[in-house]
Amino acid sequence: MLVLASASPRRSELLTQAGFRFAVHPAHIPEDPLEGEDPIVYVTRLARQKAEAVFRELTGANGGAGANRMDGHSSLAVLGADTTVTLDNAILGKPEDAADAARMLRLLSGRTHRVVTGVAVVTAKGAEVAAEATAVRFLTLSDREIAEYVSTGEPMDKSGAYAIQGRAARWIPRIEGCYFNVMGLPLALVCSLLDACKCVE
């Protein structure tokens, strides 16, 4: 049984698109980066922590109320993922408010940044962890374009304050790497990890 440890509708849509059957059980853990933490280390740490937290909850491995909820959990695989935007190796997470979103978009304007996603699959046998990075080029944005985009509300729950599958697509002339990674779930990498676990059809 595959469980997605995320409430992200985009990740659910992508997994469904790839033909997987799965349940959704979001993880609730602190997502702040550690001081000086490398972006790849950050996203892989969170992806693993999310998957491990949900695996423990579903199997009762922490001795809590989830005990005995998932009998025969040798077939359970929990998928965790975390995505962030990086510029000059600095992490740009989700904006705190509209002003912060505008600040991030001004930083990305006219430059190439990286989107990094950490992916982890946790089973009774252990954990498989990997990361994917995609380079994304932004056109130069005017203050008016930024203000109008921020006013739509779309940037507010997105790392780096934009969604490539949304209105921001008009400003992205090219990427180098996996498009689905920029959406939040690098499907080819996820499939490779699930295949390595040999427990999900």
Residues noted as catalytic? 82
N-term to C-term CA, the chain: 9
- CA separation (Å) from 67 to 27, 59, 71, 127, 157? 17, 6, 9, 21, 33
- CA separation (Å) from 199 to 48, 76, 122, 139? 18, 7, 11, 43
Reported as half-sphere exposure (CB side, CA atoms, 13 A), residue 112 has a value of: 10
Among candidate residues 183, 190, 180, the one with its CA nearest the CA of residue 79: 190
